[in-house]
Chains A and B, each alone.
Chain A
Amino acid sequence: MTFTSSTQNGRLERIAFFSGIILLLWFLFTFLVLPLLTTFQVAFFSSGEFRLAEITADLSASSRVKKALLNTAWMTLATTVTVGIVGIFQVAVLEYFHVKGRTFLKVAFAIPLVFGSVVAATGYKFTYGPAGVVTQLLQRYFPAIESDWFIGGHGVLYSQTFLLTSFYYLFLRAAMRRVDYSTVEAARSLGASEFTILRRVVLPVIMPTLFAVMLLTIYTSTVSFAVPEIIGGRDFVMISQIILVLNSLGRPDMAAFLALFLGLFIMSMILLMQWIEAKGSYVGGSKTPVPIKLKRVKSPLTNIVLHGIAYLLAGVYILPVFLIMAFSFAPAESIGTEVFPSSFTLSNYASVFSGGTATGPFFNSIRMGLLAIVIGLSATLFAVPIMVKYNNWLTRLLDIGFFLPWIVPSVLLAIGLIVTFDTANPLVANQVLLGTFLILPIAYTIHVLPLMVRFLRAAFMGIDPSLEEAARSMGANGIYRFRRVILPLVIPTVVLAAGYTFNEILTEYPLSAFLYNVNNRPISIAILDSDKSTNLEQAAITLVYAVLIMAFSMAVILFAERLSLGKGPKTNSL
């Protein structure tokens, strides 16, 4: 309690702080910047000289590249609009209006969080594609319908509309919880119409989040790969597909050039996102918002329409997942031939578990995912508060650094990592990381860092600075303040971020394929192995894997969601 001990504390804290900074900078330089530079070096210079003129000439002469750029542009624009409509509607149903069966709808709308990437695209094709159930049903009544009616740009748009709403579900709902109900009531008692309340009371609070979420959608759609690859067909190609094809054809230089071009666009999106966020953080409503009471819709007709749309939407979300689950219990022959399985069996599950082929990779993925999340959270929980608190060129640079993984396709990043760590590297104590267990978890960490920063920034931005000031004025030191004041406020987001990124890791493919070794074969590789086979038994086994991953991920998400958002608002009983 003496004066000296507190300065000693202060000095220790400073030492810890600066060691932390050095550790962070080492981490970012070693595992983000260096592999990335290596990636471009390998891509552009491995064949001798940098052939810029040839690259640009070849690319601009290609009608397919032009088409892909155009497709990516309109698809992104259209997706942002449709996803926005569906996403906002979901939030309204879950957080604003009184709708019967909220818990059910909540689980249905959470499906994209656990049903993403290749698994989801395959699921949509399984439902609407040439041998799909919906197609078979439609053809029964309208024989004129072509079996590939769903394949193409419109199918991609449809799928993306329902697959990319996760960010709305995660962020916009949390923002709605910051709306102060006492203000809503005050406006209502002053005679404001419901529309005015939405526009003048609710919208200003959620606006910054809404923008951030839209920009995340733009990013996701711009780099979309799995959906166009599986549903686009030959006539609808997006730019990520071209990049991967070029890379596999021994033209990493052209691939990297296109990726850089795309990266510039993505970087400008990120900067815009941060600028909006910084500007909007002062809009924050009440410090202690009174929770919203869900509004009952008075007009019976409107109410029926509202419920109708909500349940229809839930049906659209559930259908592919339900079919995958049903067919995972069906004999392999019924896949692609039956509208709905006529008999059920446990043999697919038995062969997955008895072969022991599932448990090993599944356990490996969980292990590596946990490690990646622990490393990622340590880095971001330390860095993000600093970046939010101090605004100078160094923190801005740091901020951009975290987003670098978004500007290179994973395949190129994997090659960069291999080449960076294939010999003893002084930055990692002269170890050779290639071929070790660690290199894949490190790659996973890099892969999830941008999203983690994205999540945590939002959380830390929402903290009222006066809370920390109050704690400081009462003599609490930095570590204590972080532990007892800041952390409890951001823990909900941390848990949700951990859950969401963990699920991302479970289905990550490109990094896994390049970096796994015989001791840590991950689940995504096991799935792809069985997906590539034309063997029908294997098709059934793929479905089993998909169901297992979804069930596991859903448990993770619902657990995280319960921890972070609680049970949710009550209905207005008036």
Chain B
Amino acid sequence: MFEKKILNTILTAAVFVMTSGSTLADSITVYSPQGEENVAWISQQAEAAGHEVEFLRAGGGELFSRLEAEKNNPQADVVLGLNDTAMARLKFQEMFQKHIPVWADGLPNVYKGRDGMVHKFWQTPVVIAYNPDKLTPETAPKSWLDLVKPEFKGKYVLGPTKWGTTQVLLSGMLMRFADADGNVSDEGWDFMNTFYANSASVNNGGDKVNLFKQGDAFIDLSWFGGTFREAAKAGYVPTLVNSEGGTPFVAEGIAIMAGSDQAEDAKKFVDWFGAPDVMAAYAEKFGQMPAHPDAIALSPAEVQEQTGLVDPQLINWDVVAAKLDSWLQKIELEIK
């Protein structure tokens, strides 16, 4: 009796598992680390424009490792939104194919390579911002290098090294101490030691917001949009620092996988996605700054105002891409 019941359960389960098949027509698969709301918006707009797209989302780090592991048989058709270094490293591994989208015309050279594989569609500075209730322009840090001063101890927050933002700001600082090949001087590593020792650290976004909310921290190192979003949650309006020596800008790119079996559809999607009107609509929705000048011109005023708020630090991302892992390894094993 009892035994029969168990057997029945198992059989029902088996039937249930087998009969519920998968449905995948001929939509293209896009790997993206974008936030849930952003992806929802993009898929909606893409569908309205006649593109069949399925998004697969995961953290930037996992997505990158996954793409590397799947190298022999790529499951993605398009990679959308990994940052400069990650895109450069995938490109070096010959994982992308050439496609020059229609919107590449007029895109500044820093946002596209000569090989025509990766094109950047939006950009954002990783800034220093502070809570004006706690600091004044006189007492606030003037540059990234000021953060190691004793008065800022514990007042700025670092996320884990797997966060894209953390990687960008560390790269920006180390590149100030690096030669043309990306070899960092001893002085640079001494600085990094103090920089870490002086920081508060968290491993998720919620904890970070809490530190600001409670007033324990008041200097935010974050990407532009994130700074304002987090500050709103913590209850203040941030003031930006135009750092001496420049502020690192990070740009996110789009590329088509070399092994894509739906390259034609993928190309159409890329052509559509980066077009100035779509980028401008995205900028309006999420307040993010497009890379394309035409898209910036179409964007709402508050997005346009963002350009020129901080001066860019010129960084050769190809050099960073080659060095980043060894830098992070040193930080993780010897500094943290």
Binding site for B on A (CB under 8 A): 42, 58-59, 61-65, 130-131, 147, 229-230, 233-234, 242, 245-251, 336-337, 367, 370-371, 374, 411, 414-415, 418-419, 422-423, 432, 434-435, 437, 483, 487-488, 491, 494-495, 513-514, 516-521, 525, 528-536, 538-539
Size class of B's contact patch? 35 or more
Closest residue on chain B to residue A64 by CB atoms: B333
Beyond A367-B20, A483-B3, A488-B2, whether A518 also contacts B55 by CB under 8 A is: yes
Contact with B65, one of A64, A415, A437 (Cβ below 8 angstroms): A415
Judged by a CB distance under 8 angstroms, whether B109 is at the interface is no
Beyond A62-B333, A64-B333, A534-B208, whether A131 also contacts B73 by CB under 8 A is: no
- A62 and B334 form a contact (CB under 8 A): yes
Beyond A64-B336, A422-B70, whether A534 also contacts B59 by CB under 8 A is: no
Judged by a CB distance under 8 angstroms, whether B307 is at the interface is no
Closest beta carbon of chain A to B68's beta carbon, Å: 8
Interface of B is mostly: helix
Closest residue on chain A to residue B325 by CB atoms: A250
- B69 and A419 form a contact (CB under 8 A): yes
Closest A-B pairs by Cβ, 4 of them: A534-B205, A62-B333, A518-B54, A250-B325
Which residues of the other chain, B, contact A494 by a CB distance below 8 angstroms?
6
- A517 and B35 form a contact (CB under 8 A): no
Interface residues of B in 9-43 (CB under 8 A from A): 10, 13-14, 16-17, 20, 22-24, 29, 35-37
Q: How far is the CA of A229 from the CA of B162 in the complex (A)?
A: 13
Q: How far is the CA of A528 from the CA of B206 in the complex (A)?
A: 13
Beyond A249-B161, A249-B325, whether A374 also contacts B204 by CB under 8 A is: no
> Can you add 7 more A-B contacts, CB < 8 Å, to A519-B24, A534-B233?
A63-B334, A248-B65, A422-B72, A437-B22, A518-B56, A534-B206, A538-B36
Closest residue on chain B to residue A435 by CB atoms: B75
Q: How far is the CA of A230 from the CA of B334 in the complex (A)?
A: 21
- B59 and A513 form a contact (CB under 8 A): yes
Beyond A64-B336, A374-B17, A514-B66, whether A434 also contacts B73 by CB under 8 A is: yes
Interface of A is mostly: helix
Which residues of the other chain, A, contact B226 by a CB distance below 8 angstroms?
534
Judged by a CB distance under 8 angstroms, whether B8 is at the interface is no
Q: How far is the CA of A336 from the CA of B234 in the complex (A)?
A: 11
Which residues of the other chain, B, contact A483 by a CB distance below 8 angstroms?
3
Which residues of the other chain, A, contact B325 by a CB distance below 8 angstroms?
249-251
Which residues of the other chain, B, contact A247 by a CB distance below 8 angstroms?
65
- A64 and B2 form a contact (CB under 8 A): no
Closest beta carbon of chain A to B36's beta carbon, Å: 5
Query: Could you jot down 19 A-B contacts, CB within 8 Å?
Result: A58-B329, A61-B333, A62-B333, A62-B334, A64-B333, A65-B333, A131-B214, A229-B203, A233-B201, A246-B329, A249-B161, A423-B73, A435-B75, A437-B22, A518-B24, A518-B29, A532-B204, A534-B226, A534-B229
Which residues of the other chain, A, contact B201 by a CB distance below 8 angstroms?
233-234
Q: How far is the CA of A371 from the CA of B10 in the complex (A)?
A: 10
Closest beta carbon of chain B to A146's beta carbon, Å: 10
Beyond A234-B201, A491-B6, A530-B36, whether A517 also contacts B75 by CB under 8 A is: yes
Which residues of the other chain, B, contact A371 by a CB distance below 8 angstroms?
17
Which residues of the other chain, A, contact B203 by a CB distance below 8 angstroms?
229-230
Which residues of the other chain, B, contact A520 by a CB distance below 8 angstroms?
22
- A513 and B62 form a contact (CB under 8 A): yes
- A336 and B213 form a contact (CB under 8 A): yes
- A374 and B332 form a contact (CB under 8 A): no
Closest residue on chain A to residue B75 by CB atoms: A435
Q: How far is the CA of A521 from the CA of B36 in the complex (A)?
A: 13
Judged by a CB distance under 8 angstroms, whether B143 is at the interface is no
Which residues of the other chain, A, contact B61 by a CB distance below 8 angstroms?
248
Closest residue on chain B to residue A355 by CB atoms: B40
Q: How far is the CA of A371 from the CA of B15 in the complex (A)?
A: 10
Judged by a CB distance under 8 angstroms, whether B146 is at the interface is no
Q: How far is the CA of A513 from the CA of B63 in the complex (A)?
A: 8
Judged by a CB distance under 8 angstroms, whether B210 is at the interface is yes
Interface residues of B in 175-194 (CB under 8 A from A): none
Beyond A147-B216, A514-B65, A520-B22, whether A533 also contacts B205 by CB under 8 A is: yes
Which residues of the other chain, B, contact A250 by a CB distance below 8 angstroms?
325
